[in-house]
């Protein structure tokens, strides 16, 4: 029944963001303890919070209750390198790394060098 309510919300004529917010709110007010838990961690260097509701709803529709760990901004190296970090204590089944390419390879984004690197000029 809850699944049908969620699907009905998602198919109503409204902005997708609003639909996922309403569906997520309904999930937050529901007892999902009977569902298997899926533990997902997101290590990030930018704002990912707008996707949280979408992830919760999508995992619910697949039959899971999502437990989500969001790293602090730009703390992914510390989380990865410290075996006593919150990431390791969370013990996720999946780790999603959302890091801006500019942070991983800053020299790639310096001026005209980008065109030279892309087109081998």
Q: Using one digit for the tens of pLDDT, what is the confidence trace for 93-115?
A: 999 999 888 777 777 666 556 66
Alpha carbon distance 89, 80 (integer Å): 12
pLDDT (mean) for 69-94: 95
For residue 89, report the phi and psi dihedrals to the nearest 5 degrees: -70, -30
Alpha carbon distance 78, 87 (integer Å): 9
**Total-model pTM:** 0.81
Nearest CA among 79, 29, 78, 39 for reference residue 59: 39
Residue 4 scores a pLDDT above 90:
yes
Nearest CA among 68, 46, 47 for reference residue 57: 68
pLDDT at 110: 66
pLDDT tens digits, one per residue of 7-65: 999 998 888 789 999 999 999 999 999 999 999 999 999 999 989 999 999 999 999 99
């Amino acid at each position: 029944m809850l699944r049908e309510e969620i699907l009905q919300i998602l198919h109503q004529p409204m902005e997708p963001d609003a639909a996922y917010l309403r569906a997520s709110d309904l999930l937050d007010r529901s007892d999902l303890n009977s569902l298997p838990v899926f533990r997902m961690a997101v290590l990030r260097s930018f704002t990912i919070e707008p996707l949280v509701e979408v992830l919760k709803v999508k995992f619910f529709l697949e039959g899971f209750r999502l437990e989500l760990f969001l790293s602090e901004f730009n703390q992914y190296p510390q989380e990865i390198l410290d075996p006593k970090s919150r990431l390791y204590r969370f013990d996720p089944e999946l780790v999603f790394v959302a890091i801006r390419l500019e942070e991983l390879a800053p020299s790639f984004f310096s001026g005209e060098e980008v065109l030279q690197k892309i087109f081998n000029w």
